[in-house]
Amino acid sequence: MLAYATPRLTFVVTVATFNIRHGLGRDGAVDLGRTAAALTATRAGLVALQEVDRFLPRSGGVDQTEELAARTGMSGIFFPTLARGRGHYGLAVLADEPVEGHLEELPRVAGEEPRGMVILPWRGVHVVATHLAQRGEARDRQTEALAARAAALSPPVLVLGDLNQGLRTLTPLRDAGFHGGPHRATFSWGRQIDHVLVGPGLRLVDVRTVATAASDHLPLVAEIEVF
């Protein structure tokens, strides 16, 4: 009798990353309704958010993760990276199902703002979401640490977030087996500093942005095949 291997099931998911700048739009107004509309327009099952406030006066003293989750009908989880008075600032993840994860610190140089990476499982994928330093030694060291940590996770692994650099300088991640799609401008002057990077077990099907004035960044959306 011939034995047949059971074919592996493949499926496609949609994910996004968006630096929301605490809801501060290009017009100088904080408007979470506008932020939520941009998130809904991504049609993503998971969204990594950066520059998220919780209980800070500049954004009305609200828990922005909770508010955005309510407005989009998604589950939300917040990971503070910096305390400011009685409030916090940091990373968040919205997902189409409840998720649990943890925050790991990234290398810090001198007085550089604390940074971290969120690691969580979602739909059989290890997700690593982050916001790296803007420049210099701190960003370089964080990129190396991010690549090493992502490569150590069991595949499939997805890395996404505001990496504050273009594709050309993501050598540690490329060397670790992670790659992104074609250039999509997400920030000023046509630059792409926000990325969705796939590792083994994942394939990028499509990458696009969502037009919005809700932030100084655009949401970057990717359709990904999991196999």
pLDDT at 123 over 80: yes
Q: Please tell me the pTM assigned to this model.
A: 0.95
**72-104 pLDDT, tens digit each:** 999 999 999 999 999 999 999 999 999 999 999
Per-residue confidence (pLDDT) for residue 2, from 0 to 100: 61
- Copy the structure tokens of residue 70: 């309510």
**38-54 pLDDT, tens digit each:** 999 999 999 999 999 99
Which contacts of 141-147 are long-range, i.e. CB under 8 A and separated by 24 or more positions?
Answer: 141/106, 141/107, 141/109, 142/106, 142/107, 142/115, 143/169, 143/170, 143/172, 143/173, 144/172, 145/106, 145/107, 146/106, 146/117, 146/172, 146/173, 147/172, 147/173, 147/175, 147/176, 147/178
Per-residue confidence (pLDDT) for residue 8, from 0 to 100: 67
d(C-alpha 156, C-alpha 173), whole Å: 15
The answer to whether the beta carbons of residues 180 and 197 sit under 8 Å apart is: yes
pLDDT at 136 over 70: yes
d(C-alpha 153, C-alpha 3), whole Å: 32
Domains of the chain in start order, with CATH, are: 12-226 (3.60.10.10)
Q: What percent of the chain has pLDDT over 90?
A: 93
Per-residue confidence (pLDDT) for residue 80, from 0 to 100: 98
